[in-house]
Every structure is written in C-alpha cells, then in structure tokens.
Amino acid sequence: MAVIEAIQTTYLEADASYIVWTSIPDTYEHLEIRASIQTNTSSTSTGTSILYLNNDATNGNYYTRHQLKAQNTSATANASETHQQTGYLNSKVVQQSYAALHIVLYDYANTNKMTTFTMTQGAPEALTPSLTFTSSIWWRDSGGYTNTDAIDQINIGVPGSQLTRGSSATLYGITG
Amino acid sequence: MAVWTHIDHTSVSLPATTVQFGTHGSAPISQSYDHLYLVMSGRWSNSGSEPHRHDVVYNANTTDADYSNTYLVTTRSGLVQADRNDGRDLAAYLTTSDFEADVFAATSIWIPHYSNTANYKQMFSQSVCPNKSDSNDEWAVRLTATMFHENTDAIDEIRVVAGGGHNFVANSTFDLYGITGA
C-alpha cells in the first residue's frame, strides 16, 4: 500500500454549492486536501470558505478558529470558539484567479479525540489579497458537545455563495 | 522505489514521557531518504491554562544554544509576534489537561536533506494548539524555522519529549516518513 493515495479528485464543470466527498475510508492515519478554488461572488470582497465535516453543513457554528493572517500589508490574528473559516478565496471578478488551499486532518479516524485540522490558504492578487494559517476543531455534532466521531464526509463551500466552474480539489489519504 | 516511506508509527497507549525514532550512533534512522517528515497529534498529562511547548531533540543533543529558531506566533486575537530565540522547545505544542477534553495539538515538521554531512540542518514546523476557547493565551498557532547547528552530522535520531516530568497521554500519535528524490 502506498503511503499517500489519492482518494478522490473533484473538478467542477459548473458552479456548485459544495465540493463533497462521502464514504471516506477510515484506513489512513491522516487526510490531506489540496485545492484550487474560486467563489462566484461578483462583489469586491472575496468569500470565505468553510470546511464542513460529516455533512454538518447546515450550521457552521460548532467549529473553532485560531488564525494567523496576512491581508494586504497587515499581519493580524483572530480567534473564535464558534465559527470556522479556511480563509479568503479569490472571486470571479478576476476570472483567471483562484485561491490555493492546503488542509491536513490529523488522526481523523480516532474516536478518542476530536479531529484537529490545519488550513493554509493563499489568495494572491485577489481583491482582498490574503494568506492565512488556521487551526480548527469540530467540537459538536447533533448528539452532543464532545464530538469524537471519525470523519467520513467532507464538504468545502462558501456560505451564501457558490464555488465557480474550474475549482478543483483532491483528497489524499496518508497511511500510518 | 516509492517516493514516501512510512518509517515508524507510535500511538501512545499508556502515558509516556518520550517517543524516539532511531538511536544516535548505534541504531540510526535510515539515511536512504532525501527528507524526513514528522507528524504528531499530542496532549500533555499536566495541567496549565496555556499551550505547552515540548522538546524536539535531534541527535540526543539537549543544548538549547544549538537550536536557533525564527518564528511567527499568535496566542491572542489581534496580536502576531515574530521573534528569534535559541531552544529545543520552540517548534511544537501540546494541549494540557486543562484544555477541552479530547482535544489534541497537531504538529508537522519537515527536515530537508537530513542526511547530508556538509551543512547544518534546517527544519520547518507548523504547530497548532486548538481549544474550545477564544480567550487570550488559551490557544496557539505557530510557524517555526529551526537551524540545528551543533555540527554538520546527519540527523540519525529524533526524540520527542513531553517535558516537565510529565507524559504524553494515551492516543497521542507520532509518525515519521522518509521522502525520496529522483
């Protein structure tokens, strides 16, 4: 068995609300996502994407966010115990411009711990150019406040907007 | 030959103070790769409201002056710090027993060209200490560049130490990978 296996690649042929992967096997130690994404907002601000786990896509309130951020010429940080974000994305206002996203989900199948994940995002030459490094945990599912479920579904989306045609992402499994 | 090789996996089932890959000089980490990649998911047995920085020791060298670190870190909204300091405990975090239950810190460390004997060794680490909290100093995000400059010996041992006389808790996991080049 190879140490790194490509589980699935999604290339959007048309605008869509989410990139979705289901039935993710629990046979790996870690998961990685490498993506090139754009949001279809036509406003001058860029969208902020969210990583939803296990189809918990109806409410982004049950994740944490701790983030280092460079935006234009400013460096800052922010935190939330209720809302997650992967970082800003490029918008279709600059049609050829997509954001880069790299996500690692550590020990995602271990049901003795909440899944910790890190997200590195770059949106260069966007209307709001930014670079972020973010950590997050998903701390609640519908059943309670200590969520140690194994991760078997991932949705990537932008609340209130869509991902544009040409956005693509690959899910990798890394063995341990 | 596969590009990535899984060298070793340790999942702590009982509290453990140290996880070690290779033994300096006598049973070294294989030198047949181009780069090493260490991935950790860990929690500390001791209490403390702030993230705990733990040791990552190369070639059994515990002299802080031989570890030069430049880093970007935040533990508070609105505050980013950049600094440079010596020490073997500036690259990786653990959550503590006072953090939200079942939450583990996550760290990945790249060690490029670890087996060359012509240069000092450099490491790049990404470490996060999540928590169900947005209060100051109860979480952390850190990027660190480390130079291990005791000598130009190849890296043949990596020792990860919980520190303070305390342990990694059960379900802390450690994976070491070797990556080959063309």
Determine the Cα–Cα distance for residues A124 and A121; give it in Å rounded to an integer.
10
Pairing, β A30-39 against β A90-91: parallel
Q: What is the pLDDT of residue B1?
A: 66
CB spacing of B106 vs A112 below 8 angstroms: no
pLDDT band at A146 (very low <50, low <70, confident <90, very high): confident
- Express each pLDDT in A75-112 by its tens digit: 999 999 988 888 888 888 888 889 999 999 999 999 99
pLDDT digit string, tens, across residues B66-103: 999 999 999 999 999 999 999 999 999 999 999 999 99
Cβ-based burial of A152 (10 A; exposed 0-12, middle 13-18, buried ≥19):
middle
What distance in Å separates the CA atoms of residue A131 and residue A137, rounded to the nearest whole number? 20
Write out residues 81-100 of A within 8 Å (CB-CB) of B: 81
Among A2, A120, A137, beta carbon nearest to B2: A2
Fill in the amino acid letter for A117. F
Q: Is residue B139 classed as helix, strand or coil in its secondary structure? A: coil
List CB contacts (< 8 A) between A148 and chain B: 102
B173 touching A, CB under 8 A?
A: yes
Contact B134 A64 (CB under 8 A): yes
Q: How far is CA B24 from the centre of its chain?
A: 17
Domains of chain A: 4-174 (2.60.120)
Residue A91: predicted pLDDT: 83
pLDDT tens-place string over residues B93-135: 999 999 999 999 999 999 999 999 999 999 999 999 999 999 9
Closest to A76 (Cα-Cα) out of A87, A90, A84: A87
Q: Give the span between the Cα atoms of A82 and A165, in whole angstroms.
A: 30
**What confidence score (pLDDT) does residue B72 get?**
97
Using CA atoms, how far residue B84 sits from A149, B87, B91, B107, B171, in Å, is 39, 10, 12, 19, 32
Domain ranges of chain B: 4-179
Name the pairing type of β-strands B158-161 and B18-21. antiparallel
Q: Which chain B residues are within 8 Å of A3, Cβ to Cβ? A: 2, 4-6, 177
| d(C-alpha B152, C-alpha A139), whole Å | 44
- Give the one of B6, B106, B140 whose C-beta lies nearest to A175's C-beta: B6
Q: Tokens 């982004």 map to which residue?
A: A60
**In DSSP terms, which residues pair with B27 in a beta bridge?**
B23
Chain B within 8 Å of A1 (Cβ-Cβ)?
A: no
Among A122, A128, A113, A61, residue whose Cα is nearest residue A86: A122
